[in-house]
Amino acid sequence: MSNYNWCHGTNCHTNHTQSRVRGSGDNKVLRTIKIKQGRYNGYQNGIWDYFCNQSCLFDYIRTHIQSIVAIAPRRKALETPIKIEKEKYESHRYRHNGTDYQRVPYQATRTTIKRVDNGNG
Ligand SMILES: [Zn+2]
């Protein structure tokens, strides 16, 4: 069992970095980055076990986007039940009176989106 993956970035092997140079003499190449599995302890579901950096991740997504969305297509909008709460409170703004700024109170409204427990967990 291998503990390494090759970066899945479609252009990884074309980036001009010293870390990709392999070979000797006149037989040098730029090689795809080898990634140690678990290097970030599963951060972001282990996505960085397959891509050496964000540029390679997006190259892969751009190339394979149609196949990726075909895995779990979204055919209709999802909805989350919510409740809107409006609450009045005293606030202030500053108005310029020609020479300096004057603090002016006003009644402001705070709008908050609240979760609704729909029994689906
Ligand atoms: Zn890469």
For position 118, what pLDDT does the model report? 66
pLDDT category of residue 120 using cuts at 50, 70 and 90: low
Instruction: Tell me the per-residue pLDDT of 74-112, one tens digit each, with 9 for 90 and over.
Output: 999 999 999 999 999 999 999 999 999 999 999 999 999
Residue 1 has pLDDT above 90, yes or no: no
Q: How far is the CA of 22 from the centre of ligand 1 (A)?
A: 15
Instruction: Tell me the per-residue pLDDT of 25-75, one tens digit each, with 9 for 90 and over.
Output: 999 999 999 999 999 998 999 999 999 999 999 999 999 999 999 999 999
Q: How far is the CA of 26 from the centre of ligand 1 (A)?
A: 24
Query: Which of 4, 9, 2 lies closest to 34 in space, CA to CA?
Result: 4
Q: How far is the CA of 23 from the centre of ligand 1 (A)?
A: 19
Q: How far is the CA of 79 from the centre of ligand 1 (A)?
A: 36
Q: Is 53 helix (H, G, I), strand (E, B) or coil?
A: coil
Q: How far is the CA of 30 from the centre of ligand 1 (A)?
A: 11
